[in-house]
């Protein structure tokens, strides 16, 4: 569904992505994690045909996204982090755009709006930023596009809306579709994403299925982490620390935030713990 080979991108002289390799199969909900400015939005822009790769090969749904083939775009929904919607009712805006998506489902749209608690009859320019984002999420999922690319979709959403978002994406995921969702708020996507890709300074520092992480690592509670060489990453918790350590797997829940810190701060140790030659 997505195949990137040595993708590089630069804004003028500023290199933003460097030799990115990636492969994504249908049925995945890929979490693209990284700090602000790590290159996530640029990578999504390349996938959506909004930015053109400087070097490397990019294939999305069997097309080169730089060619912006409408046959590819009708099977891809791109939700930017920042966007503006016109002074129209949500229903009117939907009416003029749904025709572009051959697999549009009115039922999915209505159900999505109901779950996200958005009234599509409201004027889009009068909706709050969070509601506008939820409206676009509902629209995007109703297109039934095979590839859905979302840039920071949970940014600006309140806590109940984040949970509604996770429910909706989980319900929409299928063996034929794939999602690429970027975020720097890693907890927002916990229990939803698989695989996970972590980008740091334009390079992929981790790309792995969550099942492998669950199998090889575990999140434990420790009263003290000093002197513990096996701790890959830790965070203060009441009465001690939550820590990511190798072994002890068995499908337990993985703290994505700790995994993220491990990938960024201790890539070699993490890669060794995952039993891979490198962190990629």
Partner 1 sequence: MKADTVFSPRRAWLYLAADLRLNFSSILSVTGGIAGLFFFMHFFRNPQEAPAALHANQLLLVFWLVLPAFAANAFTDIHKPLENRLSLTLPVSRTERFAAKWTEMTVVFALAVWIFYALLSAFLYIFDLIVMQGQSPFPIFLLPAADHLRIALGGILFSSVFFFGGVFFRKSQLAKTVLAIFSFLVGIFLVAACSFRVIFTQYPAGSVPSFMMEIIRKLGEGALHPLTANSGLFQLLFGLAFAIFFWFLAWLRLGETEAKGGLQK
Residues in contact with partner 1 by the rule CB under 8 A: 41-42, 45, 48-52, 63, 66-74, 76-78, 80, 82-88, 92, 96-97, 99-101
Minimum Å gap between C-beta 156 and partner 1 is: 14
Name the residue nearer to partner 1 (CB basis): 101 or 241. 101
Minimum Å gap between C-beta 208 and partner 1 is: 28
Strand partners, 14: 11
Cα separation, 222 vs 236, in Å, equals 10
Report which of 6, 7, 76, 70 is spatially closest to residue 42, judged by C-alpha positions: 7
Task: Kindly write down the DSSP assignment for every residue of 67-111, as one continuous string.
Answer: G--HHHHTTEEEE-SS----SSBHHHHHHHHGGG-TT--HHHHHH
Name the residue nearer to partner 1 (CB basis): 129 or 171. 129
Name the residue nearer to partner 1 (CB basis): 48 or 267. 48
Cα separation, 265 vs 243, in Å, equals 14
Minimum Å gap between C-beta 8 and partner 1 is: 17
Residue 106 backbone dihedrals phi, psi, to 5 degrees: -65, -35
Name the residue nearer to partner 1 (CB basis): 20 or 259. 20
Name the residue nearer to partner 1 (CB basis): 72 or 233. 72
Minimum Å gap between C-beta 25 and partner 1 is: 22
Report which of 217, 220, 211 is spatially closest to residue 193, judged by C-alpha positions: 211
Name the residue nearer to partner 1 (CB basis): 50 or 220. 50
Minimum Å gap between C-beta 47 and partner 1 is: 10
Residue 27, number of CB atoms within 10 A of its CB: 14
By the 10 Å C-beta count (0-12 exposed, 13-18 middle, 19+ buried), 139 is classed as buried
Cα separation, 48 vs 50, in Å, equals 6
DSSP-derived pairing of the beta strands 55-60 and 2-11: antiparallel
Minimum Å gap between C-beta 49 and partner 1 is: 7
Minimum Å gap between C-beta 268 and partner 1 is: 33
Residue 248, number of CB atoms within 10 A of its CB: 11
Name the residue nearer to partner 1 (CB basis): 69 or 111. 69
Cα separation, 7 vs 36, in Å, equals 20
């Amino acid at each position: 569904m997505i195949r990137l080979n040595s993708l590089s991108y630069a804004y003028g002289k500023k290199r933003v992505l460097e030799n990115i390799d990636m492969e994504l199969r249908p049925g995945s909900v890929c979490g693209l994690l990284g700090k602000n400015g790590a290159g996530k939005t640029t990578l999504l822009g390349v996938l959506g045909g909004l930015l053109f790769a400087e070097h490397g090969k990019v294939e999305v749904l069997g097309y080169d996204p730089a060619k912006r083939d409408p046959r590819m775009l009708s099977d891809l929904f791109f939700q930017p982090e920042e966007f503006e919607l016109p002074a129209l009712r949500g229903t009117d805006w939907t009416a003029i755009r749904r025709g572009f998506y051959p697999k549009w489902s009115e039922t999915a749209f209505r159900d999505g709006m109901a779950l996200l608690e958005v009234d599509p009859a409201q004027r889009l320019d009068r909706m709050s930023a969070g509601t506008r984002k939820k409206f676009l999420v509902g629209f995007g999922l109703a297109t039934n596009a095979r590839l859905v690319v979302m840039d920071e979709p949970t940014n600006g959403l309140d806590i109940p809306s984040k949970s509604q978002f996770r429910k909706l994406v989980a319900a929409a995921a299928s063996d034929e579709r794939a999602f690429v969702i970027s975020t720097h708020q890693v907890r927002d996507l916990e229990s939803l994403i698989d695989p996970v890709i972590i980008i740091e300074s334009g390079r992929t520092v981790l790309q792995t299925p969550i099942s492998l992480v669950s199998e090889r690592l575990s999140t434990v509670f420790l009263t003290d982490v000093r002197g513990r060489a096996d701790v890959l990453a830790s965070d203060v918790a009441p009465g001690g620390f939550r820590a990511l350590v190798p072994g002890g797997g068995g499908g337990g829940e993985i703290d994505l935030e700790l995994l993220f810190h491990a990938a960024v701060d201790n890539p070699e140790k993490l890669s060794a713990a995952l039993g891979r030659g490198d962190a990629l």
